[in-house]
Amino acid sequence: MTGILLFFSTFVCPTEILAFNDRLDEFHKINTEVVAASVDSHFTHLAWVNTPRKEGGLGKLKIPLLSDLTHKISLDYGVYLSDQGHTLRGLFIIDKNGVLRQITMNDLPVGRSVDETLRLVQAFQYTDEKGEVCPAGWKPGQDTIIPDPEKKKTYFNKKEKKEKKTKKEL
């Protein structure tokens, strides 16, 4: 199973946690679990889930909230700002073998994208299964590249033909 570890700390966080929570079924369909972590206590988490969404709370969640009171997990992942007492907005994709595949680290004022996280998980799973590589912006069903000096040309020739056709249509 793939894992997503999502660190949260500020006012943008409820929007992210709720966005991931509301689309958790999509993650489960691709055999992926999502866990949200903060340096707050489990009592703080309980208060947050007992606060209605319309008041900035989380309400009932399907995503587990992990309390990292000792800051060990946050320090181990490099997201804890000890001089400020909170974490950065870190997101980690960990594959079924426990290998860290992707890190996203946002400064506090900007939230993360559920769409991009889903895309990345799907791309890593595809490359692991097929042995091919995914070009920039790849989405399931799109062409991939065979990582071989000769075979890669199939992708690039096809791409060039599509681009020429698009230019003619314009």
Q: Which residues participate in catalysis according to the annotation?
A: 13
Q: Give the span between the Cα atoms of 79 and 111, in whole angstroms.
A: 15
Q: Give the span between the Cα atoms of 29 and 98, in whole angstroms.
A: 19
Which phi and psi angles does 90 have, rounded to 5°?
Answer: -95, 145
Q: Give the span between the Cα atoms of 8 and 135, in whole angstroms.
A: 30
Please report where in the chains the tokens 């008041």 appear, as a residue.
Answer: 55
Q: Which residues contact 124 (CB under 8 A, 6 or more apart)?
A: 2, 93, 95, 101, 102
Q: Which residue stretches of 13-151 are H helix?
A: 13-22, 24-29, 42-49, 72-76, 114-130
The enclosing H or E element of 167 equals helix 152-169
